[in-house]
Amino acid sequence: MMEKIDKKKLKGLMTATELLDGKYGKEGTPSREVFQQNALAWYYGVILRDRRKEKKLTQQQLADAVGVKRSYIARIEKGETDMQMSSFLRIANALDIQFTPVYK
């Protein structure tokens, strides 16, 4: 049996956008841009880490395959560094991640 939603309680809740606006500033502000860049770096790091683990590779094995230090792989996986596109593509290639270009 489903419970009824209390609309009075819903009115007091904030949307995700409202929460982000309050904490990081409105979209387009420098502080919000920094937050979005950090969030994206973290997101890509999670994708790469999960794929590395699927392939049963250690950070050191991946670093050796790509030609970087293990600490660099660790920082990427934690979202602590802004990697260059060339690094991202080398790592993705080593993890057998394929990209299909989409043209509009």
CB-CB contact of 82 with 41 (8 Å) = yes
Is 77 part of any domain? yes
Is 101 part of any domain? no
Annotate 24-58 with b (16+ C-beta within 10 A) or e (fewer): beeeeeeebeeeeeeeebeebbeebbebbeeeebe
Is 19 part of any domain? no
Domain extent, residue 83, equals 30-94
CB-CB contact of 92 with 73 (8 Å) = no
pLDDT tens for 70-99 read 999 999 999 999 889 999 999 999 999 988
pLDDT tens for 2-56 read 778 877 777 878 899 999 999 999 999 999 999 999 999 999 999 999 999 999 9
Is 71 part of any domain? yes
Q: What pTM value is reported for the model? A: 0.77
Number of domains the chain contains: 1
Alpha-carbon torsion (47, 35, 38, 89), positive or negative: positive
CATH code: domain of residue 45: 1.10.260.40
Is 47 part of any domain? yes
